Amino acid sequence: MLQLQFEFQIRFSITIPTLTMFLLKTWRQSAFGVYGYLNFTKPAFLEHSKNFKPEEMETQIPGKNCLVTGANSGIGYATAEGLAQRGATVYLVCRNKERGEAALSQIQTKTGNQNVHLEICDLSSVTDIRSLASRFSKKNVPLHVLVNNAGVLEQNRVTTSEGFELSFAINVLGTYTMTELMVPLLEKASPDARIITVSSGGMYSTPLTKDLQYSESNFNGTEQYARNKRVQVALTENWAETYKNRGIGFYSMHPGWADTPGVAKSLPSFSKSLAGKLRTSEEGADTVIWLALQPKEKLVSGGFYFDRAEAPKHLSFNATNGSHAAINSVIDSLRSLASLS
């Protein structure tokens, strides 16, 4: 056996652990691809929607304050519009003033709800998030719903002005910092407060890793995105436990594969090959809005949701199950990077 391993290494100049890892990654990605094709497309949404109960989306929520990040485009825009349609006061968090103002005016016109406001914040910056949280605290209003939606899949390694890998900065550190700083405002809306984090089924393809900023030299943006989305699911599980007595529900979710500006830009081949089979942004936002409207007793805090139902956090045979044990170490790193006490 050792002889065989030695000959294999000489011939192909790769080690058995490297080969095993390569095969495992390939298996996980293939399993995710097949599972996704069967479940995440538009035809799957139409099939799943046969079990939806229309009355669950009829609740009106005037007087509830909802903050949606990345609200000028795609799923975030559709979420903000859906919440405004149901009478909520909605705060759009956008990084770009013009795009934010365009979304604000479109939502006000379409819904007739004037209680829609714009907050400018670059969620890749801890400093900017701190400033938003401090501005928002001064309003002294309870926050009923925080939707952590803003996200990117960046194919190249880009470093932010604060020195972080960009997708990690937005998807993970931004989500973590925003959530931790907003918890006191959500407590004011207790017991009906909730935080919904828009993760992705892409996380099925990877375990939780402590390598948060992709230290390997060959940067793989799609893999880094999947890793980020896995962290969001594990963080949500941990927040549910940490804050279980604070009257806040924590949910992560997958919107399915939706045809959004983000997908068209980051995954052009995927977008073209599934043309006509992708969900609309509204279909992607459906479960986010559903999670915002349901009585909390119906929901499982810490759970991962898809198409209005709790979904597994791991695919069978993908060997990712035990990985969430690393979450405390991940949180220690995040707390330190965000300089939170």
Ligand X SMILES: NC(=O)c1ccc[n+]([C@@H]2O[C@H](COP(=O)([O-])OP(=O)(O)OC[C@H]3O[C@@H](n4cnc5c(N)ncnc54)[C@H](OP(=O)(O)O)[C@@H]3O)[C@@H](O)[C@H]2O)c1
189 versus 255: smaller Cβ distance to ligand X: 255
Interface residue with ligand X among 170, 315, 330, 337 (CB under 6 A) is: 170
Q: Does 152 bind ligand X (CB under 6 A)?
A: yes
Site string for ligand X, 244-283 (x = CB under 6 A): ----------xx-xx-xxxx--------------------
Of residues 177 through 216, those in contact with ligand X by CB under 6 A are 198, 200
Under a CB-based contact definition with an 8 Å cutoff, are residues 79 and 149 in contact?
A: yes
Cα distance between residue 19 and residue 291, in whole Å: 42
Q: Does 76 bind ligand X (CB under 6 A)?
A: yes
Concerning whether 225 is annotated as a catalytic residue, the answer is yes
Under a CB-based contact definition with an 8 Å cutoff, are residues 222 and 155 in contact?
A: yes
Give backbone dihedrals phi and psi of 123, rounded to 5 degrees, phi first. -75, 0
Annotated catalytic residue within 77, 91, 204, 225: 225
Give backbone dihedrals phi and psi of 119, rounded to 5 degrees, phi first. -125, 130
Of residues 33 through 52, those in contact with ligand X by CB under 6 A are none
Interface residue with ligand X among 82, 151, 207, 303 (CB under 6 A) is: 151
Locus of tokens 């500006």: 261
Q: Which stretch binds ligand X (CB under 6 A): 26-34, 51-59, 66-74, 237-245?
A: 66-74
Cα distance between residue 200 and residue 13, in whole Å: 35
Interface residue with ligand X among 36, 67, 70, 286 (CB under 6 A) is: 70
29-64 exposure pattern, b = at least 16 Cβ within 10 A, e = fewer? bebbeebbeebbbbebbeebeeebeeeebeeebeeb
Of residues 310 through 339, those in contact with ligand X by CB under 6 A are none
Q: Which stretch binds ligand X (CB under 6 A): 3-11, 147-155, 182-190, 235-243?
A: 147-155
Interface residue with ligand X among 81, 122, 237, 286 (CB under 6 A) is: 122
Largest Cα span, the chain: 75
Q: Does 287 bind ligand X (CB under 6 A)?
A: no
Strand partners, 65: 89
Strand partners, 93: 69, 119
Under a CB-based contact definition with an 8 Å cutoff, are residues 200 and 225 in contact?
A: yes
Q: What amino acid positions are annotated as catalytic residues? A: 225
- Give the footprint of ligand X on this chain (CB under 6 A): 70, 72-76, 94-96, 99, 122-124, 149-152, 170, 198, 200, 254-255, 257-258, 260-263, 284
